[in-house]
Amino acid sequence: MSSTPEPIDAELISRREAIMRVTAILGGVAFVGSSALLTGCRPDAGKKTASDSTAANFSADDIAFLDELADTILPPTSTPGAKAAKTGAFMALMVRDTYYPDDQRRFRDGMQKIEDATQKAYNVSFMKATPAQRLAVLTPMDKEQWTQSQAQEDAERKKALAHLGEERKESAPGTDVGAATAVQQNTGHHPFRLIKELALLGYFTSEIGCTQAQRYAETPGRYDPCAPYKAGEKAWAGHA
Amino acid sequence: MTTDANTYDAIVVGSGISGGWAAKELTEKGLRVLVLERGQNIEHIKDYVNATKNPWDYPHRGGRTVAMEEAYPVLKRDYALNEKNLSYWASDKDSPYTEVKRFDWYRGYHVGGRSLMWGRQSYRWSDIDFEGNLKDGIAVDWPIRYADLAPWYDHVERHAGISGSHENLPQLPDGQFQPAMPLNCAEDMISQRVKKLFDGKRHIIPGRVANLTQPKPGRSQCQYRDACWLGCPYGAYFSTQSSTLPAAAKTGRLTLKPFAIVSEVLYDKDKKRATGVRVMDAVTEQMSDYSAPVIFLCASTLNSTWLLLRSATDVWPGGLGSSSGELGHNLMDHHFRVGAEGKIDGLEDKYTYGRRPNGFYIPRYRNLNGEKRPYLRGFGYQGGAGRDGWSRAVAELGVGGQFKDAMSQPGGWTIGATAFGEMLPNHANTVTIDQNRKDKWGLPVHKIDCATGENEALMRRDMANDMAELLDQAGVKDVKMYNAPCFPGMGIHEMGTARMGRDPKTSVLNSHNQVWDAPNVFVTDGSCMVSTACQNPSLTYMALTARAADFAVNELKRRNL
């Protein structure tokens, strides 16, 4: 073979895993080999299709919608909510810059579903709905995505473990490589999972999320391996 | 063009972990040394441009964009591609390579090489490792034993600064340690429990890590920021920039030349010695020759071998060192991405402060003391425990204010560990030169053909099951195993392809890392390795380099080179 083979889909680390790695690092669990991070892979099914510009571009109205959406997931409490942390603009930027077209469309579909469900339930747009109505719309969607994601992760883990100890097959690109292929034969994730994930990432890595929702020490200067903790105290935010 | 200005006492090719040590040792012993680095300079502290940014200062919060993935078709395969230290990674487009089988190659082409981004885990090897090939009848015997390297481990540990605990374990010799970064309360609790299990043969110990816990001249102790891979403004972890380069520069005998791509070693067939190296300026693409009586190849495993493959081809068509038939063969890495994790009940009133850039280590225990598993050799674990952060929220059910406030607090304790397994040498795992394909500078690229085998596959069962068993017996709840795709190269521990040995017919280098066919050429990076053990290899490269440099200077004085 005289040129670099086109990487097959199964070889690619997905956007989802990339985000999960980031969240793992920022969330301070980088050293724990969290299985959700390592097996939460899927092929970039949409990679070879042309970029869908409508799905990738967000208007000011879209960003306002995403702000309200994120603020429903993470509303103001004793600390500011996701809208104050400009989470909507962050979500739009991430969908534009880091998602492949399939996920861009899935994310857009998710926004539309939320709008449709609000109209259906309350005969009002999501933007005009009350916070209580918005929460009532998102709660069953969250349940649905959670159930689907759990099942997907369990299936992925089982597939990966079924290949443990199997003699490594020919690993030329494009051929079966046992676990490597099996793990990543996954269908797409639930649209609300994408929305929720980006809202969480955007909020908890923002300045407000780090310094108000959590505690932040840029340079801790020391390590205490066993510090006292009282219930209700905030978490320490990550750094790099 | 060769002029006197192009003549030195020694030339070091590469400025990473091995090259930095070669530069330090050779200059401190009185030699005028030229260090050639193919990429740009990165100046200590001044050029660590992202080192003090906050998470929210990055537009994508450190993540990766589609555009980045398109620009880095190899780097994107794993964590290495990210927004925060992208400039530390070599361009896949400028420097492509050919994969006969998938091989992930993550490179640092700049002053300091991967010493800027390395994981810093630093473990000695033992005679169990150096005697392994001989006892198992695998490949060839290491030409050295632990006693040959022990004083050099002492030497490099004292200068680099390795923190760790004394454990008195034969498979993982103790060293000249600074105080260890302690286990946290959850790790300590599990460690105490594990001591009473498995006949006391499995040990959870603090990771031995090249981060200072006490200051050294010009370097402060670790500030627990856990941002090492951005470059440390405190110089608190070992890198070429923080440790070996300042020492070499202090002698006044160091010349560091960035943007200098070495294209071949020049060889005089009458004298049977190398005379120097040919260098392409990476910016102007002009060629010049540099000469020296001693040459150290420290360009990283695959690149030092690439240089040998291209050198002295008028004498040996397969390159300098190819008379053994082993040059370019026996490429190895560690295999990993397999292990287990779970949840720890209790310790709700405990937390940690500071971000420790380290975790725990479980030294190898398999196939020791007469045990015989269905595979050869063994593995160690690297892991950690901590309270979950907000990212647990992604997988948790919930939206709204209560959910947000709950996720702003630390979650329960979790613990997990990933195994790093030894990969056996195999003559069929090779790097050659792909003459049909050129890099940005018109130089032919590497062609890599490497795969793990049955021994590694069998080992992975234990790598997953053992950790699940350990956690379960230690009272950890909801234990889950994982086994993620793993391809050679992902460990970023490339080793072999110019192995040491006792016989020029079966090895490329002798016991002092001299090329058998050109005794004034020393190869001291990962390419010299005869086996991989399961410990992280960098500390051993440091010790081998310092030992070879000492030998080279003595040989030079005796006029043997």
Tens-place pLDDT, residues B295-320: 999 999 999 999 999 999 999 999 99
According to the model, what pLDDT value does residue A56 have? 80
Q: Mind telling me how many Å the CA of A67 is from chain B's nearest CA?
A: 14
Partners of A27 on chain B (C-beta within 8 Å) are 388-392
C-alpha span between B49 and B501 (Å, rounded): 43
Q: What is the pTM of this model?
A: 0.92
Q: Is the pLDDT of residue A163 over 60?
A: yes
Residues within 8 A of A (CB atoms), B 350-389 only:
350-356, 359, 382-389
Residues within 8 A of A (CB atoms), B 495-534 only:
none
C-alpha span between A39 and A142 (Å, rounded): 22
According to the model, what pLDDT value does residue A187 have? 54
C-alpha span between B122 and A47 (Å, rounded): 40
Q: What DSSP character marks residue B172?
A: B
Is A21 among the domain residues? yes
According to the model, what pLDDT value does residue A37 have? 28
Is A48 among the domain residues? yes
Smallest CA-to-CA distance from B2 within B277, B311, B294 is with B277
pLDDT digits (tens, 9 = 90+) for A94-103: 999 999 999 9
Q: Is the pLDDT of residue A13 over 60?
A: no
| B404 closest CB neighbour out of A20, A75, A166 | A75
- Per-residue pLDDT, averaged over A27-50, amounts to 34
Partners of A73 on chain B (C-beta within 8 Å) are 399-400, 403-404
According to the model, what pLDDT value does residue B4 have? 81
CB proximity B436 to A under 8 Å: yes
Is A122 among the domain residues? yes
- Stretches where chain B sits below pLDDT 50 are 1-2
C-alpha span between B247 and B23 (Å, rounded): 9
Is A187 among the domain residues? no
Token representation of residue B333: 């890495």
C-alpha span between B462 and B475 (Å, rounded): 19
Is A108 among the domain residues? yes
Q: How far is CA A61 from the centre of its chain?
A: 22
Tell me if B105 sits within 8 A of B87, measured CB to CB: no
According to the model, what pLDDT value does residue A48 have? 40
> What angle, rounded to 10 degrees, do the helices at A101-122 and A131-162 form?
140
Is A163 among the domain residues? no
Number of domains in chain A: 1
According to the model, what pLDDT value does residue B80 have? 87
Domain that holds residue A14: 7-146+192-213
According to the model, what pLDDT value does residue A166 have? 54
C-alpha span between B79 and B167 (Å, rounded): 32
Token representation of residue B387: 């309270």
Q: Is the pLDDT of residue A12 over 60?
A: no
Partners of A161 on chain B (C-beta within 8 Å) are 464, 481-483
User: Could you give the percent of chain B with pLDDT greater than 90?
Assistant: 97
Is A232 among the domain residues? no
Tell me the average pLDDT of chain A: 76
pLDDT band at A164 (very low <50, low <70, confident <90, very high): confident
How many other β-carbons are positioned within 10 Å of the β-carbon of residue B412? 15
Partners of A167 on chain B (C-beta within 8 Å) are 453-454, 457
Is A237 among the domain residues? no
C-alpha span between B73 and B71 (Å, rounded): 6
CB proximity B343 to A under 8 Å: no
Q: Mind telling me how many Å the CA of A32 is from chain B's nearest CA?
A: 5
Cβ-based neighbours of B513, under 8 Å, separated by 6 or more: B500, B522, B523, B524, B528, B544, B545, B547, B548
According to the model, what pLDDT value does residue B365 have? 98
ipTM comes to: 0.93
Q: Which residue has the higher pLDDT, A30 or B137?
A: B137
